[in-house]
Amino acid sequence: MDLRYSPEEQQFRHELRDWLARVLPTVPPKPAADDWPARRAHDTAWQRLLFEAGYAGINWPRDYGGRGATPTEHLIFLEETERAGAPYVGVNFVGLLHAGPTLVAEGTDEQRARHLRPILRGDEVWCQGFSEPGAGSDLASLRTRAVRDGDHYVVSGHKLWTSYATVADHCELLVRTDPDAPKHKGITWLILPMDSPGLDVRPIETVLGSSEFSEVYFDDVRIPVTNRVGEENDGWRVTMVTLSFERGTAWVDQIVDSMRLVTDLVAIAKTVTRRSATAWDDVGLRRDVGHLAAEFDALWALVKRGVSQAQATGVPGVGASVLKLRYTEARQRLMDLAARVLERAALSRTDIGALWSLSGRHSGEFVEERINSLSYTIAAGTSQIQRNIVGERILGLPRER
């Protein structure tokens, strides 16, 4: 990958920057966290704007409605949208960042024709039905059962922690199709329409007072066999493709956001006074901020490597686990540092005004994000599991018993 920007890439950056400057003032503010219909409308309207301007699916192949951008253009897109404070991918997360890419890599032509464009246009939202009670880290132990009945699978069981289930149109669903096979060999990856009869979605309220995820119960839910992605009982291999997108490329915009937050934090620390000095006069704080800034720089270099690898092979490599592990832990340390600077204000979701708004953010948002960041080292596979993957598959250490 050539890291210098060509004249075409510079041109791409300028056009995107101009477009963002024109469009962002027209985007309404983010709705309340617990107003899910409004959140869906907000996030999908932004996705539609991206689509109409030719920026949706920036790295997806042109044949599937994407822009087919080069790895460098993809990185420029992430940098510029974050720099401008463009809306987060939100409810489009699963569709855009791992279900869609899985269909590009593994779906049939019919599945791609049916699903990819609606994801890119923000017409359809996806969720992920992988985890179950007793099958989180040990995902291959999942028990939701699918029995073949003619042209359908009949599904019964229970999924847990299904993000966006209340607003989703489709779900990437893992089911057990062969209970007698070794556990990794009896799983199938299905596309579940969320309006299927027999589904019961029960939202779970989090500490933030919003139902980010749900439990989903299946009572003889019928799913057409044509909704299967990959072969029957070959779902574990397809799952690895999905997880490599989820762990590898799905987080990268947040790394740019974190770099911006470090800069904001420095500005705030220079303003907060402690007796006769500012928070920034604290050598310990400066050292910790420096370490963190260097770590985010290194992670961004790793993103560049991952993006260019994904371009060559179509799928991010196992290095995705390194990125996920280090990024999520660094993000938590950043939030702890911010709390050190904000002190008591870091404990209240009420906006403290002047200080944090230096960075154009609402201080309550920071408090929420600090709590939210605690979940990052669990979602998409815990840190311990990423360490196992790094140890076994990258470093070649003996497999855990």
User: Catalytic residues, which ones?
Assistant: 246
How far is Cα of residue 57 from the mean position of the Cα atoms in its chain? 14
209's tokens? 């007072």
Find the shortest distance in angstroms from Cβ 238 to ligand FAD. Answer: 15
Distance from C-alpha of 382 to C-alpha of 362, rounded to nearest angstrom: 29
Instruction: Choose, by CB under 6 A, the member of 60, 161, 251, 280 that binds ligand FAD.
Output: 161
**Per rule CB under 6 A, is residue 352 in the interface with ligand FAD?**
no
CB closer to ligand FAD, 128 vs 254: 128
With binding defined as CB under 6 A, does residue 166 bind ligand FAD? no
The first and second tokens of residue 311, run together, are 């371009």
Choice between 76 and 199, CB closer to ligand FAD: 199
**Residues in contact with ligand FAD, total (CB under 6 A)?**
21
Contact predicate 119/96, CB 8 Å: yes
Query: Is the four-CA dihedral 165, 170, 171, 173 of positive or negative sign?
Result: positive
CB of 143 to ligand FAD, least distance (A): 13
Query: Residue 390 carries which DSSP code?
Result: I
Site membership for ligand FAD, residue 141 (CB under 6 A): no
The answer to whether 131 contacts ligand FAD (rule: CB under 6 A) is yes
For residue 162, state whether it binds ligand FAD (rule: CB under 6 A).
Answer: yes
Residue placing its CB nearer to ligand FAD in the complex, 68 or 391: 391
Nearest distance from C-beta of residue 166 to ligand FAD, angstroms: 12
Q: How many CB atoms lie within 10 A of CB 186?
A: 20
Q: In angstroms, rounded to a whole number, what is the distance separating the alpha carbons of residues 317 and 303?
A: 11
* Closer Cβ to ligand FAD, 72 or 377, answer by number: 377
Q: Mask of contacts with ligand FAD, 294-313, x by CB under 6 A?
A: --------------------
Is residue 396 exposed (0-12), middle (13-18) or buried (19+ Cβ within 10 Å)?
exposed
Instruction: Tell whether residue 128 is a contact of ligand FAD (CB under 6 A).
Output: yes
Cα torsion angle, 65, 69, 73, 75, sign: positive
Among 163, 211, 254, 363, binds ligand FAD (CB under 6 A): 163
- DSSP 3-state assignment of 389? helix
| Integer Cα distance of 347 and 364 in angstroms | 9
> Which two three-digit tokens encode residue 15?
């056009």
Q: Which residues contact 344 (CB under 8 A, 6 or more apart)?
A: none
Beta-carbon contacts of 101 under 8 Å, excluding residues fewer than 6 positions away, are 60, 241, 245, 249
Both structure tokens of 23: 């469009």
Among 105, 388, 392, 393, binds ligand FAD (CB under 6 A): 388
Q: Which of residues 358-387 bind ligand FAD (CB under 6 A)?
A: 375, 378-379, 381-382, 384-385
Return the residues of window 203-242 that contact ligand FAD according to CB under 6 A: 212-213
60 belongs to the binding site for ligand FAD (CB under 6 A): no
C-beta of 384: minimal distance to ligand FAD in Å? 3
Residue 85 backbone phi and psi in degrees, to 5: 70, 35
Q: Which residue's CB atom is positioned nearest to ligand FAD? A: 136
Question: Of 106 and 246, which has the nearer Cβ to ligand FAD?
Answer: 246
**C-beta closer to ligand FAD: residue 243 or 345:** 243
CA pair distance 300, 296, nearest whole angstrom: 6
CB of 239 to ligand FAD, least distance (A): 11
CA nearest neighbour of 194 among 173, 175, 220: 173
State the residue for tokens 């019928």.
222
Span interacting with ligand FAD, options 158-166, 280-288, 293-301, 341-349, rule CB under 6 A: 158-166
Nearer to ligand FAD, 72 or 321 (CB): 321
Contacts with ligand FAD, residue ranges (CB under 6 A): 127-131, 136-137, 161-163, 212-213, 375, 378-379, 381-382, 384-385, 388, 400
